[in-house]
Structure 1
């Protein structure tokens, strides 16, 4: 079996502010005079105990990023780390609302992130794209404002639009207009559903937002008809097992439904969500799921193939990535 580190990987679900390495957060906090002592312990780990304190720690850590150069450092650090684990492609969720809170324009925020991704690509050949997200608990007007900003300031690396935030707040019907605008502008669309919300939240996202990808989506397992629908309609789930376990959606990896969903024909991918907050990385996700469910290298490569095929990137990039993946399959031990 190929060791997980050498299997080419791809990630579709990672919040870039939530991927901030604690060392970078501490360094920028000192530079900008931000107090992060309440959310970082002496060992350089984030301090939180439940979903509410996680969100607080996330917001405090995010507040140290003030300039395009800060965001450039963040995206470069993350994509270099991904590449070091064998990833050939990554998509990050970017939050125009966080940019606004930092006093940055959407354009300068995206340009900062893009320059970091480009620097990482020069050295490692990793490809990266961005998915701008609206926050559902900010309401439909806020989410529509984000879509308009994205459409009005096109950037070649911003290729998708998504919905994040508290799943229990705001029915997907409220965001149908925003998603229609995003689709008409040629953006790929995805929405968080079926993480804290049950199968109903997944059904509502499919019905009202017309997405072909779902962030998480794992609680669909509670509805047999829905599982069949996901398989029949080729809906891709951006599954984040480590995140689900850290946040208490499931108690242990062996109880996580990722393997059952896959056996039922649902297309699944593996992702890290907010990696340092949950003590994980993309490499750890591939390794822990494979170890728990006995996935071989071929299974892991199939997961990566699913991610690349569902990626929000152009056809030429997708083809290049699939060629890299196929060459790894033919030459085990290389990526």
Structure 2
């Protein structure tokens, strides 16, 4: 069996960023919205750099207007993820795109998303849980509204609070209030850092937000003391190698530090980030890593064991997912 056929756990997937281009084009057609500028000649998303990526991302999400749109999106995402062997996934969901940060509106969107996810679990065998995600470049005040949405809907399905967006805007500590609100509601915490922000952004995430996972985090490799700190604290990195290469952090997969981080004792996992934007899938990630580093079946089984232990879901769900991971 190829390593890409293994059942997989994915911890870092942006819900809107996983929208298939054909799905967005269909929605744009239905809503009579011209989004032709965000697609290339082959029909994929087009962007030049990270700032342009964020613009394309937000343009694509602009046709997602209603809870029903997000229900359809959820099914489309999970069908593709399941086809790539994903049996458990945690997705970043932003109330900013689902009601503008209003709690009552967010509840309606969340109900539609969860209902679609439950149906997809029956149909495709994939389990989804949600991580509510403030968008960093929308600012700390908007993040407070998003965190309140998270706190008001925390439970068995909304399991975490994270933060995405432009790492160049402000500092991690600017969002401490939002993260404290999530922590008090019993949510587990993660944040994007160590991608474009460098090692210092990871230090900030640890020191100022006290998170237990880091989205990306790979530039920690540039600071040996930080690597030791990640090991000591047992902080898990949600690595997205294909995304990092496409966005120019590293020239190619063999240059990516995931293997060096793992060898240093850091807990690493593998995810796709915004897969259609970066022309990747979980199968492709596994194949690229196997080719770049000579990783074999047991290496990927270990990655998935790390991922399910770091997952934010409850122990009953973890036990059920572990059985699926052991079936192949």
- TM-score using structure 1 length: 0.94
Q: What corresponds to 2:92 in structure 1? A: 93
Task: Give the Cα separation in 2 of the matches to 1:282 and 1:116.
Answer: 21
Q: Cα–Cα, structure 1 residues 313 and 102, in superposed 2: closer, same or farther, change >3 Å?
A: closer
Is 1:306 aligned to residue 306 of structure 2?
yes
Q: What corresponds to 1:332 in structure 2? A: none
Is 1:107 aligned to residue 107 of structure 2?
yes
Q: Deviations over 1:103-152 (max 9, x none)?
A: 99211221222122112101122111010101222222111111112212
Is 1:232 aligned to residue 236 of structure 2?
no
Q: What corresponds to 1:274 in structure 2? A: 274
Task: Give the Cα separation in 2 of the matches to 1:101 and 1:303.
Answer: 36
Task: Give the Cα separation in 1 of the matches to 2:140 and 2:25.
Answer: 34
Post-superposition offset of 1:179: 1.1
3-state SS of the aligned residue for 1:225? helix
Contact 2:101/2:146, CA 8 A, preserved across alignment:
no
Task: Give the Cα separation in 2 of the matches to 1:87 and 1:255.
Answer: 26
Q: Deviations over 1:268-295 (max 9, x none)?
A: 0001001001100111111111211000
Moved more, 40-49 or 120-129: 40-49
Contact 1:66/1:102, CA 8 A, preserved across alignment:
no
Post-superposition offset of 1:102: 11
Q: What corresponds to 2:251 in structure 1? A: 251
Contact 1:121/1:127, CA 8 A, preserved across alignment:
yes
Task: Give the Cα separation in 1 of the matches to 2:138 and 2:186.
Answer: 24
Q: What corresponds to 2:297 in structure 1? A: 297
Task: Give the Cα separation in 2 of the matches to 1:253 and 1:93.
Answer: 25
Q: Cα–Cα, structure 1 residues 150 and 102, in superposed 2: closer, same or farther, change >3 Å?
A: closer
Task: Give the Cα separation in 1 of the matches to 2:138 and 2:284.
Answer: 33
Q: What corresponds to 2:160 in structure 1? A: 160
Q: Deviations over 1:213-263 (max 9, x none)?
A: 000000000001111111121100000011111111111111100000000
Q: Cα–Cα, structure 1 residues 96 and 206, in superposed 2: closer, same or farther, change >3 Å?
A: same
Q: What corresponds to 2:209 in structure 1? A: 209
Is 1:11 aligned to residue 10 of structure 2?
yes
Superposition pairs of residues 1-335 of structure 1, within 5 angstroms: 2-100=1-99, 105-154=105-154, 156-328=156-328
Q: Cα–Cα, structure 1 residues 132 and 102, in superposed 2: closer, same or farther, change >3 Å?
A: closer
Q: Deviations over 1:136-172 (max 9, x none)?
A: 2222211111111221234632111001111121112
Q: Deviations over 1:57-88 (max 9, x none)?
A: 11111111111111111111111111111111
Moved more, 181-190 or 152-161: 152-161
Q: Cα–Cα, structure 1 residues 102 and 144, in superposed 2: closer, same or farther, change >3 Å?
A: closer
Tell me how many residue pairs correspond in the alignment.
Answer: 327
Post-superposition offset of 1:297: 0.5
Post-superposition offset of 1:187: 0.6
3-state SS of the aligned residue for 2:243? helix
RMSD of the TM alignment (CA)?
Answer: 1.5
Post-superposition offset of 1:21: 0.5
Post-superposition offset of 1:41: 2.7
Post-superposition offset of 1:34: 1.1
Task: Give the Cα separation in 1 of the matches to 2:193 and 2:276.
Answer: 22
Moved more, 175-184 or 287-296: 175-184
Q: Which runs of 5+ in 1 are unaligned?
A: 329-335
Task: Give the Cα separation in 2 of the matches to 1:275 and 1:303.
Answer: 19
Task: Give the Cα separation in 2 of the matches to 1:86 and 1:140.
Answer: 37
Task: Give the Cα separation in 1 of the matches to 2:180 and 2:11.
Answer: 21
Q: Which runs of 5+ in 2 are unaligned?
A: none
Contact 2:154/2:187, CA 8 A, preserved across alignment:
no
